[in-house]
Chain A
Amino acid sequence: MSVVNALVEIFQKSGFMSLSWQNWVMILVSFGLLYLAIVKKFEPLLLLPIAFGMLLVNIYPDIMADPLMMSSYEGTVDPNAHWYDAGVLRLIYAGVKSSIFPCLIFLAVGAMTDFGPLLANPVSLLLGAAAQLGIYVAFLIAIATKFLTFIPNFEPFDALEAAAIAIIGGADGPTAIWLTSKLAPQLLGPIAVAAYSYMALIPLIQPPIMKLLTTKKEREIKMDQLRTVSKAEKIIFPIVVTVLCVLILPSVAPLLGMLMLGNLFRESGVTDRLSDTAQNALCNIVTILLGVTVGATAEGKTFLDFKTIAIIIIGLLAFAFSTAGGVLFAKLLNVITKGKINPLIGSAGVSAVPMAARVSQVEGRKYNPSNFLLMHAMGPNVAGVIGSAVAAGFLLMTFGN
């Protein structure tokens, strides 16, 4: 064999020859996301692993190979294959598919969350509920896709798919993955990518909506300092929430239970080592595995179709309506309390913790530099986590088997 023949063969077997145009498009998309993560610093801890997973799978699709069809929805089963013949990211993806990663992330979020602002101002819980509006608007929009049958090759979303897409409006990645893997696992890739990407882009999505729905005077409102919350209150809260919410909606037990367990690690004061592990080492490990494998579900050939584009659009609308729901409800509370609530904290009711609360703080200071809304916004923000878990529990109870 001549050197030239060898080189030709290598070239023919290389990715340059085997990749489709969809893979090249997704490679460009991953470059864009890497740019946003590294240069613009948009939630790099999430966006960077997602973007890199996307890049890897589109350069080398077999990294997500699934010869046993463990979690793929297209292809054929290879009867001679073993589980270890699957692509390395496909094996790790089992943690997403089985809901282990989302639940572990909730444990970490619980350990990192201070429910003090929410306990000091329980009205925050209502803001966390109002900011779930986007979930139900997105559900209606997804169902309404049946009016789009004039688009060639477009199959409208069924009820289960619509419910899974709707949860993007909760702005909560782990909840979105958890519900989607139960109701419409075939859509896990686009829904997870949409949810996490929009969570990372919250500093871009929310401010225009917040500005549109509030007056300058409202944005300048300075809120009273929150009361100090006692240790006993903080310890009893996770236990009460677990008992109450799981009894009302049993299906929320895995997510809410882990969230509150993590919080109890933090607040009990007797499990500092566990709390530290959940907040740091465990959270970081699961974030890497979850991010890379979620990104790796965006393989061009299966990812780039009308349904994905529709999910991306509906997801954005869901985020927008959730933000609007929170802000409008905060405006209502501001009227009821005679000007004591800055409506900007309403947008933090979407559960992306702590990005959404940070946006409220930044926007508040733009209009009144002496304004510190962060702690006030943390209340609705952590309430949003509970709200989206309850909303997901309702959808699972309604549509689950």
Chain B
Amino acid sequence: MLNTLLTLAERKYISFGEALNISITGIVVVMLVLAFLAVLVLLLSKSIRAVEGAAKKKSSAKAVSANAEEKTSAPSKPAGTALPESASAGDLNLYNVDEKTAAVIMAIVSNESGIPLNRLLFKSIKAIENKG
């Protein structure tokens, strides 16, 4: 196919049909290369995250066992697993705000700041009354 195109290109003027052939091949080549890249990125990301996840688990397990050795009588926080990005942790006090509105506010803050919810800690959300 490409050889045919190369022979076509040696001529100064080409027919419309030949141009159509080159155009279709061109868009297919771009699509295929980028689709291949997308699959590769997907596989790469998955394997890197798997390796990183395993390394994290290992290091956190080490840290937990080290903490356990150092522990005296003081109670410690539960180690637990990492929260999903869409979840948040901690106690949140709501003042004149319903839970649905609070959830929306937290989502907006997370979206605006680009920080996942699991890395944000909200302490309280308070409705400010308009006195004017």
Contacts and interface: CB of A to CB of B under 8 A. Distances in A.
B131 interface: no
A122 B38 contact: yes
B30 to A, nearest CB: 5
Contact of A398 (B9, B31, B86, B108): B9
A162 B19 CA distance: 10
A68 interface: no
A391 B26 contact: yes
B68 interface: no
A130 B41 CA distance: 18
B30 A129 contact: yes
B23 A140 contact: yes
A232 interface: yes
Nearest to B114: A375
Interface residues of B, number: 44
Contacts of A370: 108
B102 to A, nearest CB: 16
Nearest to B41: A122
Interface string B116-130: 100000000000000
B26 to A, nearest CB: 5
Q: Which of A133, A230, A383, A398 has the most CB of B within 10 A?
A: A398
B30 A372 contact: no
Contacts of A162: 19
A273 interface: no
Interface in A133-164: 133, 135-137, 139-140, 143-144, 146, 156, 158-160, 162
Contact of B40 (A128, A130, A137, A244): A244
A386 B36 CA distance: 13
Given A227-B85, A233-B48, A125 B12 contact: no
A140 B19 contact: yes
A52 B64 CA distance: 65
B108 A232 contact: no
Contacts of A160: 9, 12
Contacts of B79: none
Nearest to A136: B23
Nearest to B39: A122
A144 B15 CA distance: 9
Listed from nearest, the 4 A-B pairs whose CB atoms lie closest are: A136-B23, A143-B19, A129-B34, A122-B38
Interface of B: 2, 5-6, 8-9, 11-14, 16, 19-20, 22-27, 29-31, 33-42, 44-45, 48-49, 52, 85-86, 108, 110-112, 114, 116
6 contacts: A125-B41, A144-B19, A159-B12, A230-B52, A236-B44, A387-B34
